[in-house]
Amino acid sequence: MKKVLSIVFAICIATMMVACGSSAKEYDVNEVLTALNTANPLGESREVTADDVNLIMNISSDLYEEFAGSIGSDEITGAMNLVIKAADGKAEDVKSALATYQANQISVRAPYAPDSAAVLEDGRLEVKGNYVILSLGSSADVYADVDTAIADTFK
């Protein structure tokens, strides 16, 4: 009888540990964007739209649940901040699409604005659970603050 109770108790404990370990922390994409915008100020900017995400960044709506972003108005720098909450299991697909977007932005600017292209190369593209963050600065000196903002936000 003691062995049976011990086995049942062990199974219950294991089940509780698995259930607790599988819960992913949720973040507000707008709060993450606010932290990014503070670390990487864009000056005049506009909101990233669903058309930007779907058509320009080539991320279909089945890959994400929600997003928030800002694009700087200075077309030469290509500065932006974006956070996307990916659908379950789709964070790497979103990251891949954003890496392609970043590479395209670099190649477009390289011939006429090589300094801006170099800054975009140093941009931050990170995955934190189901969240994918892209921050492209207008200058290289913002990236230390962006790293801090991401680390502080995703504690």
- Tens-digit pLDDT profile for residues 87-110: 999 999 999 999 999 999 999 999
**Structure confidence at residue 116 (pLDDT):** 94
The reported pLDDT for the residue numbered 112 is 93
- Both tokens of 51, joined, read 């058309």
Whether residue 115 lies inside any domain: the answer is yes
User: Has residue 20 been placed in a domain?
Assistant: no
98 part of a folded domain: yes
Q: In total, how many domains does the chain have?
A: 1
Strands 131-136 and 124-128: antiparallel
Asked whether residue 73 is domain-assigned, the answer is yes
Q: What is the pLDDT of residue 12?
A: 52
Ranges of the chain with pLDDT below 50: 5, 17-22
Range of the domain at 53: 27-153
> Does 5 reside within a domain?
no
- Helical residues (DSSP H) of the chain, grouped into ranges: 2-21, 29-39, 50-51, 91-109, 114-121, 143-153
Tell me what pLDDT residue 21 has.
45
On whether residue 16 sits in a domain, the answer given is no
**Using CA atoms, how far apart are residues 137 and 40, in angstroms rounded to an integer?**
6
Residue 22 falls within a domain, yes or no? no
Residue 34 has, within 13 A of its CA and on its CB side, a CA count of: 6
What pLDDT is recorded for position 75? 85
